[in-house]
Amino acid sequence: MPQDSARVTIYVCGPTVYGACHIGNFRPAVVFDVLVRLLRTLYPQVVYARNITDIDDKINAKAAEEGVDISEISARFHQKYLEDIAQIGVLPPDIEPFATGHMGEMQAMISGLIASGHAYEAEGHVLFDVTQDGEYGGLSGRSQEDMLAGARVEVAPYKKNPGDFVLWKPSTDAHPGWDSVWGRGRPGWHIECSAMIEKHLGETIDIHGGGADLQFPHHENEAAQSRCAHAAPLARYWLHNGMLNIGGEKMSKSLGNIMVMNDLLAQAPGEAVRLALLQGQYRQRLDFTPDLLTQSRKNLDRLYGVLRDARDIEAAEMDAPEGFMAALCDDLNTPKALAELFALAKRADTPEGKGALLAAGRLMGLLEQDPETWFAAQTVDADIDAAAVEALIAERAQARADKDYAAADAARDKLTAMGVAIEDTPDGTIWKLA
């Protein structure tokens, strides 16, 4: 239950915008989009924030390489990110804070942590003292040794403890920087999210989400500094989506299996990419393969085919059925919810059945296109000449009317050779990609 049933707050760590995002970045975008859609049906107000990290060493390096300001790099790849997630039906958040717009809030939080003895200054740096937080390590459940190994900490002489992490660091003339009482510098990564959460959502929020790779050190450090700054927990619930494998292997540049949106859309429509990302329960690792994409596309063909068959039925205004809702409310069990969705498709031949299917689809971000638009796009993707298909269907219909069944079969064989499947219905012959 939320702390205020009239206002649910959720924050998800967004991308660091220095390059095109890969398929791994799209899984949290889709998972938490479904969660927010679900929450909006259950509570009167949901405030969803997803940040943009626009100050980072990788952004600095990219800007230096191109000889431009960091704002040009972040603006370019932020826009690319928005275009990419729109392709997979991700709705905009209510709030999209940028780290560089919150320097005052970050500095105020850091000053408070110094004043309370949880942080200290050293050689132009400000560091969080992990020994001053008795709950440090509780989120990730790691030992001190594991945390040091997992954080890949810099062993610096100015640190009191090896695990202490940076809240503020000095900037050279070659780096972007902001004036502060500790000198010209820039924030550490972790303080950014804590400051943005406090400003936009409050000291304690209901849900904090992100990829499992962020649980440590990012979320552990966020939780520690916010807890010590406010004497209250940062989030009541932490949700972490599992990582992706590509064809059974971990994604890595060395393996050359990093997939960006353009790669994905060359294989399947955006909605099929979305469905593929929902095939596994969000906490579990998902093996993303060409077969998974192909099957997701075929599954959408089936569902849109049902809606096309029911095109003359006026859908009733319906809520998503109880069984479907129960699946999503069970820790966002999307595999079970998808099974319920296909069961609903069998009952779409009535106004209530069609309405229930569409309502359930909307919660998953699926089936929001017109069926004819879906199938027309398939033919474009496959470079099918729609006019030629229609001409062959008309030729076959005339041959059947003339009882020239050999000619009708020949027309059908030509369609099959083009990769087109046809179905005779009471309203005429419809077609789709085989």
Look up the CATH number of the domain holding residue 65. Answer: 3.40.50.620
Q: Identify the weakest region by mean pLDDT among 1-5, 315-319, 361-365, 405-409.
A: 405-409
Closest CA to 299 of 348, 339, 336: 339
Q: Would you give the distance in Å from CA 59 to the centre of its chain?
A: 21
pLDDT digits (tens, 9 = 90+) for 385-415: 767 777 888 889 888 888 888 888 888 888 8
Do 190 and 73 sit in the same domain of this protein? yes
Cβ-based burial of 194 (10 A; exposed 0-12, middle 13-18, buried ≥19): buried
The pair of three-digit structure tokens given for residue 58, joined into one six-digit string: 């990788």
Final residue in a domain of this structure, among 209, 241, 273: 241
CA distance between the termini of the chain: 47
Residue with tokens 């919660």, as numbered in its chain: 363
| CA 335 vs CA 283, 299, 394: distances in Å | 12, 13, 41
Do 235 and 251 sit in the same domain of this protein? no
Instruction: Report the distance separating Cα 15 and Cα 274, nearest Å.
Output: 18
**Domain range spanning residue 172?**
8-241
Final residue in a domain of this structure, among 189, 214, 241: 241
Asked whether residue 110 is assigned to any structural domain, the reply reads yes
Give the Cβ contact number of residue 389 at 10 Å: 18
pLDDT digits (tens, 9 = 90+) for 279-330: 999 999 999 999 999 999 999 999 999 999 999 999 999 999 999 999 999 9
Q: How many domains does the chain have?
A: 3
Query: What pLDDT does 142 receive?
Result: 76
Length of the chain: 434
Do 325 and 208 sit in the same domain of this protein? no
When computed from its CA atoms, the radius of gyration of the chain, rounded to whole angstroms, is 26
Do 131 and 214 sit in the same domain of this protein? yes
Asked whether residue 2 is assigned to any structural domain, the reply reads no
Q: Identify the weakest region by mean pLDDT among 108-112, 353-357, 414-418.
A: 414-418
pLDDT digits (tens, 9 = 90+) for 116-153: 999 999 999 999 999 999 999 999 997 766 665 555 55
> Is the four-CA dihedral 371, 262, 251, 192 of positive or negative sign?
negative
pTM over 0.75: yes
Instruction: Report the distance separating Cα 335 and Cα 328, nearest Å.
Output: 9
Do 251 and 207 sit in the same domain of this protein? no
Q: Are 361 and 391 in contact (CB under 8 A)?
A: no
Instruction: Report the distance separating Cα 358 and Cα 354, nearest Å.
Output: 6
Do 298 and 400 sit in the same domain of this protein? no
Q: How big is the CA angle at 168 (ends 165 and 173), to the nearest 5 degrees?
A: 130
Asked whether residue 1 is assigned to any structural domain, the reply reads no
Give me the amino acid identity at 403: K
Report helix, strand or coil for 56.
Answer: coil
Sorted by sequence, the CB contacts under 8 Å of residue 378 that are 6+ apart come out as 269, 301, 384, 432, 433
Query: What pLDDT does 383 receive?
Result: 62
Do 427 and 361 sit in the same domain of this protein? no
Query: What pLDDT does 1 receive?
Result: 85
Give me the amino acid identity at 194: S
Closest CA to 310 of 358, 275, 343, 270: 358
Final residue in a domain of this structure, among 346, 372, 398: 372
Asked whether residue 174 is assigned to any structural domain, the reply reads yes
Do 298 and 170 sit in the same domain of this protein? no
| CA 212 vs CA 39, 217, 284: distances in Å | 22, 11, 10
Instruction: Report the distance separating Cα 108 and Cα 199, nearest Å.
Output: 11
Do 208 and 356 sit in the same domain of this protein? no
Do 288 and 218 sit in the same domain of this protein? no
Residue with tokens 């039906």, as numbered in its chain: 89
Do 188 and 257 sit in the same domain of this protein? no
pLDDT digits (tens, 9 = 90+) for 174-183: 899 999 999 9
CATH number of 287's domain: 1.10.730.10
